[in-house]
Amino acid sequence: MHRLCLPLLLILVCTTPALANAGEEFITMQGKNGKVTFPHRKHQELNRGCRVCHSADQGVKIQNFGMAWAHKNCKGCHETLRRGPAQCSDCHKK
């Protein structure tokens, strides 16, 4: 029994695909209106999928990221769910 366990464990470990690049845990954006600290990992852990923000499950660079995107998507989701910051000064810290 024991002689079987180790090889089985090794097969399991070795065939598990390498973890995809999940990006930074926190992403800090420096804007004129004060910096925004975005808890990236926390949002991934909401388990709504990467595609809520990215165009692919691997999390490729977001096209046209900036104020318009952020206020529509970041603030938009917070308002829709009634969770997460929706006031200017809750996101932008001087």
**Residues found near ligand HEC in the complex (CB under 6 A):** 20-23, 27, 29, 31-33, 36, 38-40, 42-44, 46, 48, 50, 52-54, 58-59, 61-62, 65-67, 70-71, 73-75, 77-78, 81, 83-88, 90-92
3-state secondary structure of 67: helix
The torsion angles phi and psi of 73, rounded to 5 degrees, stand at -85, -45
**CB closer to ligand HEC, 10 vs 31:** 31
**CB closer to ligand HEC, 10 vs 79:** 79
Please state the closest distance from residue 94 (CB atom) to ligand HEC, in A: 12
Contact 93, 35 (CB under 8 A): yes
Instruction: Give the integer Cα–Cα distance in Å for 54 and 8.
Output: 36
The torsion angles phi and psi of 59, rounded to 5 degrees, stand at 75, 55
**CB closer to ligand HEC, 10 vs 34:** 34
Hey, what are 1's tokens? 């029994």
Please state the closest distance from residue 40 (CB atom) to ligand HEC, in A: 5
